[in-house]
Amino acid sequence: MAWADLRAFLTHLDRAGDLHRVRVPVDPRLEVTEIVTRVVRAGGPALLFERPEGADMPLAINVFGTEARMAAALGVERLDDIGTRIGEMLRPELPVGFGGVRSALGKAAQLTSLPPRRVRTAPCQDVILKGSDVDLNLLPGVHAWPQDGGKFLNLGLTHTKHPETGARNLGMYRLQQHDARTVGMHWQIHKDSNAHHAVAERRGERLPVAIAFGCDPAVTYASSAPLPAEIDEYLFAGFLRRERVEMVDCLTVPLQVPANAQVVLEGWLEPGERIPEGPFGDHTGFYTPVEPFPALHIDVMTMQRDPVFQGIVVGRPPQEDGPMGKATERIFLPLIRMMIPEIVDYDLPEAGVFHNCAIVSIEKRFPKHAQKVMNAVWGAGLLSLSKLIIVVDADCDVHDYHEVAWRAFGNVDYAHDLVTTIGPVDHLDHASYEQFYGGKVGVDATRKLPTEGYRRDGGWPEEIVMDPDIRDRVTRRWKEYGL
């Protein structure tokens, strides 16, 4: 089902007993982070801080903090359900018979729900603040970690468009509040909005920007999804919701924003202007250093009446962004398999903050097949940032890290099964000796073939597996053993 807005989803969580209201005053400087971190690690509920100190509206946080809650936010029971829908739409078979035609028409009908729908009036513009009335201090920005450079307005959905083609981009970037009317735009080197800004600067033009907070969960997730530049995030959000997203024209910039957003900021980036941004305690678990980034000057701030501000705390895993990353892993599996068909499944461990490590299982068919897959993964979108790729056979459960470790530790001759290379790494990677690129490793933990040079007598040994009849017998008699 589609949630009309953030409030509708919070109401659902409240009724399900999965939302806790913190009614006492809480300081957004450090105190919120310590509370949220403990709740996340306990698998606890979403939180609504009703009285954040120094702000004028409540703060919703940890809204996506479990896989079950992330699935509910996207209207499914399991995150894999969305990947299944995508996989069915990608199947290229021609329809056979009436049933096949009906199925094909059903797939096509899904597409009618995708394009966003423009509306003339919207709740997000019920309250309008302009010029000197704009005050970002009304928002409960979080100073998450002791050495952070100040308050950050995270989980904002940043809207830009290409100055030449007009193509829209929706992205999620951290936003440092510099003063009551200015935020820093931390968009990284690989991001589409950064490319839009570069084109605008080359043309000597200002870039219009709109930032929406507290959108419906599908839209918020879509802003974080690693979609190709030519795919509109709002088409994807419509697919997730099975309903069109309603959008309204901004008041002062030539952009559109979700009609049911809680808060919207509108402004312009001046060409050439940079302000030091950071430090920031990031999802890597380390502080990222101060760097110059564009500064957005807010001309207009609009909001709903009695809005709820949605934020997020990031830091050393586990944190709320973990289930968001897991959603991306499961949803995009069919697309990964379309690019690299021999992949059976993959896992992006949260401890590797989803881009440092990829565990991949394959149907191995020929010598050095694992190495072929490694290079394909290093050429696949944002998976190109993976620093470690572990390739296992199809019968290995990539989500069982104990089994993966057993394969990776025992099935590898590091003189033959290790691939090392250099390539792009994440902007936030602190371990690479040079920013933006560094060393990468691929580990071939598959069974080795004679044609790969494994010449030992008898070939690759057979795994120890118990006789299935004995397993069944022991299962039937388990209570007799008194265990």
Catalytic positions, written as ranges: 282
Q: For residue 441, with 0-12 CB atoms within 10 Å meaning exposed, 13-18 middle and 19 or more buried, which class applies?
A: middle
Q: For residue 420, with 0-12 CB atoms within 10 Å meaning exposed, 13-18 middle and 19 or more buried, which class applies?
A: exposed
How far is CA 2 from each of CA 6, 172, 258, 303, rounded to the nearest angstrom? 11, 21, 14, 22
Alpha carbons within 13 angstroms on the beta-carbon side of residue 4 total 7
Question: Residue 139 gets which letter from DSSP?
Answer: S
CA 276 to CA 292: how far, in whole Å? 4
Contacts of 153 (CB under 8 A, 6+ apart): 136, 139, 141, 175, 176, 177, 183, 211, 213, 311
CA angle 430, 434, 440 (to 5 degrees): 75
Fill in the amino acid letter for 397: D
Q: For residue 36, with 0-12 CB atoms within 10 Å meaning exposed, 13-18 middle and 19 or more buried, which class applies?
A: buried
CA 418 to CA 397: how far, in whole Å? 21
Closest by alpha carbon to 172, among 230, 199, 114, 211?
211
CA 436 to CA 226: how far, in whole Å? 18
Contacts of 103 (CB under 8 A, 6+ apart): 95
CA 353 to CA 170: how far, in whole Å? 22
End-to-end CA distance of the chain: 45
CA 327 to CA 333: how far, in whole Å? 10
The answer to whether 384 touches 424, Cβ cutoff 8 Å, is yes
